[in-house]
Structure formats: C-alpha cells, structure tokens
Amino acid sequence: MQEIKPFSPQDCINFVKTHLNEIKDGKYSIVVDPAWIPELPQEIISLLPHYSWISKKNIAKTSQDAQILRMLATEAKLQDTNIVPELAVSIAKNKYTPLDILKNLSKHENIYVLRAIASNPNTPSEILENFARYNDNELRQSVARNPNTPERILIGLATDHIDDVRRCVLSNSNISVNVLKTLLNDETRFERTTIAIKAAEELYKQGIITTRYKEYQQSKEEKERYTIEQKRLKEEEENEEKRKRKDKTFKSMLIVGVIWAIMPGSIILFIIKLIWGIDAVIMAIVAWFIIVMIWASLVAQEES
C-alpha cells in the first residue's frame, strides 16, 4: 500500500475522487493532516478511516462528528488492552468526543486511555475525581493539569506526596486562590518549598498576600548571608589549623636537628678542630644549622 500525502484539503478531495477505486482496493493510504479535517466533506471523512490507519487516528483526534466518533469508539473496543490502544487514546483526547463515549472509555483497562481522558478539558468532574484517587502518578498529573478539575480535588492534589503532581496543580490554568494558599503552606520538605515559593509569587502578584512573600525573601537572603559567613569562618579555621601544624612540625624538626648536632655531631666537630682548627668548626656549625632549618621547613611544608 502506497501512502499518499496530499498538499492541501482540496488536493485531498481531488485525489480521493480520482482514485476512489484504488483506495478501496487498498492501493493507496491517504494521510490526512488533522488541521484539514474541518474542511473535508463528510463523505471523505467517513471513507478515510476504513482505508488509512494514520488518517483514522487523526480523525479520531480532531473530528467533531459524533457519529464518526461513535463508529471509531466501537472499533476501539476491539483493540488489545495490553498494548497502547492508539485509536482509543486519540478518541479520548478529542475535546469534541461525546460525554457518553468518554464515560465508557473511562472504564477502559489501559492506563494510556485513562491518562488521555484525564487530559481532556471536557471530561466530567466526577470522572476526574475518581482518577485523582488512582495510584498512577501520571494519571494524577493529568487530572492536576485539567482546567475542569474541581477546586476541592485540586486542593487534595496540592498535598500529594509526589512533587510532579503538585507542580501540575500549580500549572493549572484555572487554579484558585484557595489552591494557591494550600500550596503556599506546603513547606514540609525542601522540594515542596519551590512549589510554595511559586504559589507565593502568584498570590503576591494578585495582591492577596504581602507579608508572607517579603518575609520569605528576607529569610532567604539572611540564610544566604549566614551560609557565606559560615563558609568563611570554616576556611579561616582550616587555615589556622594548617599554620599551627606547620609551626609544630618545623619546631620538632629543628629540635631533632639540634639534638643530632649536639650528640654525634660533637665527635665530628672535634675531628674537624684537630684537622682544620676552630674556624672550620664555626663554619661547620653554621652550615649545619642552615641545612637543618631548610630541612625542617621542607618537612613542615609537606605536612601542611
């Protein structure tokens, strides 16, 4: 079967009229742009679902014809519920799908169909309320975003244990002041604080709250300043500790060098005196202390 992609609605009409027999014989599959469906004649809209799977899905998504949608819904019932039933999903997403079809689809076993229904802005509130209690996180997210979801359901979802669900509540285009206030008080965990801040910003823009927002901003700035100061003090303590260790190591090495010079070194100095005299002894002592100090400094540097 050859897929045909018409250039325009009129081109689609002309092609179907010219090649109607070939389409029915399965030679051609017409791929219809969803945006064209309102401009296509009823007879073509009724014809294409029988001979093109892609057009069938597109028509199911956008058609305003209840009769065609009922026909497609009947066909969708025959699909396997263990895979993604694309036709049923397309019908469920269509905002023109009759309510009785949506109610029937809401009993579907496949979660993808239920999510599609939950995202449909025309889904009845009683169905959305039922879905809000489901364990599937993405289903609850769809309910939270749906502008048709009642306020009392959104308030419940605003305290959901899943962060993404609460964020979807915040993105709802019909969010009410009461829902925003619920999100504003949702500060029991760090992740929830972000949502509460956004809710506070929205309420602040509406002039509903003033003090809470400013207090939070002030508290946030103070916390940042406190964190910076604590970091600075910690760095100072670490540097002071390093300096003390370095000084201690240097003194220890210096003492070791002096002790070594006094004990076995005295014998060496006595020999030097016998051979080269007292001046050589003085030079040897000075050289030895210079070597010891350099050695102690290097060891202290490595220790720090």
Whether pTM exceeds 0.75: no
What local confidence, expressed as pLDDT, does residue 209 receive?
A: 61
What local confidence, expressed as pLDDT, does residue 65 receive?
A: 81
CA 196 to the chain's CA centroid: 17
pLDDT at 101 exceeding the cut of 60: yes
Average pLDDT, the chain: 77
First to last CA, the chain: 78
Q: Which pLDDT tens digit goes with each residue over 44-98? A: 877 777 777 777 888 888 888 888 888 888 877 666 555 568 888 888 998 899 9
Measure the CA–CA gap between 146 and 153, rounded to whole angstroms: 11
Q: Going by C-beta distance under 8 Å and a sequence separation of 6 or more, which residues neighbour residue 265?
A: 288
CA of 240: how far to CAs of 21, 209, 228, 254, 300, in Å?
A: 92, 48, 19, 21, 14
**In this predicted model, which residue has the larger pLDDT, 165 or 208?**
165
Measure the CA–CA gap between 106 and 128, rounded to whole angstroms: 10
What local confidence, expressed as pLDDT, does residue 143 receive?
A: 94
Q: What percent of the chain stands above pLDDT 70?
A: 71
